[in-house]
Amino acid sequence: METPKTIISKEVTERLLDVEKLKYCFECGICTASCSMAELLGKDYNPRSLLEKIFLNPEGVLTSDELWLCAWCYSCHKHCPQALKIPEIFYFIRSIAAEHGYTEPLEKALKKIVENIPLPLVTTLVCFHPERAGLDKEKILNRIEKIRMERLRVGKRKKASKNLGRKIAVIGSGPAGLTVAYELARKGHKVTVFEALAEPGGMLRKCIPEYRLPKQVLAKEVQFIKDLGVEIKTGITVGKDLSFDDLSKEGFKAIFIGSGAHKSQKLKIEGGDLKGVIHALDFLWSVNSGEKMNIGKTVVVIGGGNVAVDAAKTALRLGAEKATILYRRSREEMPANPWEVKEAENEGVKIEFLVAPKKILGENGMVSVVECVRMQLGELDESGRRKPIPIEGSEFTQETGMVILAIGEAPDLEFLPREIELTEDSTVWVNPITMETSLQGVFAGGDAVTGPASVIEAIRAGKCAAESIENYLKSLGG
């Protein structure tokens, strides 16, 4: 292990931290306030404080466990007035730490992850990405399991706390729903999870590719939660197979809605019904289900989020010779995580920025060409991003054998009773403090409330909702 003082030069630090931007950081606290890990870990993690430590003493940070606790959701970057790329800064220093043998802090970080995050295996693979720092992810996962088993043995030796043991229904077995089930089962409550799919996992199973989240890892997490006493009923759609009234009659004292965002947004252009045009969620679900997909040589993906990136990378893994993402804004506005975009490009995905589809054309009912138009950015729109405007006369065509539509996902909430209010964005309205909906005793969180977000944000919502549900159950007395 090298002496820390010889590792990071001042020039590297200033370039890395983007000192010109950092000069105008007035410690507004937005980065920390928007950070799910900061809320989950409390005083044990503060991205703004860590950023300051890197600026003042970068070598000293190499021995900090905080360096390993960024979950790459990019909320800090998206909300930062100066657009500081804090995750990228942490990644650079983390890579240096791993390269020079400073991995002891990682052990402390793993213990904090296991202690505070209900799905530590899933979260490590999907959010923390140890392999990006050159570490063996299998060894990391094995270490996490050992830490978890040790905590479980210690927990069994402690006297169980007295609890009310109420019945709670959880709708959806994605990260938010599983988190609520885990937290409340540990408190002694009788939790039943209702999942519409044939197997548990929700969006974790449906949309995250196998190369990012192997099925056996998800299965271990689900089994661990079952071992806590949680019952998971699959193939049951609440609103169709049973109603909210049925749940009440069965004695459930609280309900959590964690049904995710499984409904694909529609692209209103000609040719959307041609064979070979498929929504990204359907595409990823078919691949994850083991269905044989006829990819063809070229694939065009329309959209700019993480789902679009996953779809393009998956297409290449299935044998496509070329996968192109069409995104109507610039790289800076692209909602996908920047490092995911870079990784996709390194794997061979081509990204056409400032390009939008006009129509999809086909031959004999099968897609063959996407007619596109180049765009320029105008004034800011309601999303806070510059509005893309078509450039007259810039049309061109892109040949393809498959078009994957990844233009956004939304919650499917038709199953909810009328008493539960929705927002203008057609998501579930909740009290931001308690996560309770407009219907007493019914709580919600995750993508059903926020729209599509990261796994760590769903876990954060689940933890908050579980605490509120516990308080609500106590208020019932008896």
- Give dist(CA 48, CA 76) in Å, integer: 9
Per-residue pLDDT tens digits of the chain, which is 478 residues long? 444 455 776 666 666 666 667 777 777 889 999 999 999 999 999 998 998 888 888 888 899 999 999 999 999 988 888 888 889 889 888 988 888 888 889 999 999 999 999 999 999 999 999 888 888 999 999 999 999 999 887 765 444 445 568 999 999 999 999 999 999 999 999 999 999 999 999 999 999 999 999 999 999 999 999 999 999 999 999 999 999 999 999 999 999 999 999 999 888 899 999 999 999 999 999 999 999 888 889 999 999 999 999 999 999 999 999 999 999 999 988 999 988 999 999 999 999 999 999 999 999 999 999 999 999 999 888 777 789 999 999 999 999 999 999 999 999 999 999 999 999 999 999 999 999 999 999 999 999 999 999 999 999 999 999 999 999 999 987 5
- Give dist(CA 126, CA 205) in Å, integer: 12
The pLDDT score that the predictor gives to residue 159 is 45
The pLDDT score that the predictor gives to residue 157 is 45
- Give dist(CA 234, CA 242) in Å, integer: 13
Nearest to 139, CA basis, from 112, 113, 116, 107: 107
Token pair for 5: 């003082």
Q: Name every residue whose Cβ is closer than 8 Å to that of residue 15 and which is 6 or more positions away in sequence.
A: none
- Give dist(CA 292, CA 188) in Å, integer: 43
Within 13 Å of residue 301, how many CA atoms lie on the same side as its CB?
30
Same fold, 4-152 and 163-261+411-476: no
> In the CATH scheme, what is the code of domain 4-152?
1.10.1060
The pLDDT score that the predictor gives to residue 19 is 66
Top CATH class of 163-261+411-476 equals alpha beta
Q: Name every residue whose Cβ is closer than 8 Å to that of residue 165 and which is 6 or more positions away in sequence.
A: 188, 189, 190
The pLDDT score that the predictor gives to residue 67 is 92
C-beta separation of 172 from 444 below 8 A: no
Domain boundaries, the chain: 4-152, 163-261+411-476, 264-408
Q: Which option is the CATH number for 264-408: 2.60.40.650, 3.40.50.2000, 3.40.190.10, 3.50.50.60?
A: 3.50.50.60
Q: Which residues pair with 191 in a beta bridge?
A: 168
The pLDDT score that the predictor gives to residue 478 is 57
The pLDDT score that the predictor gives to residue 10 is 66
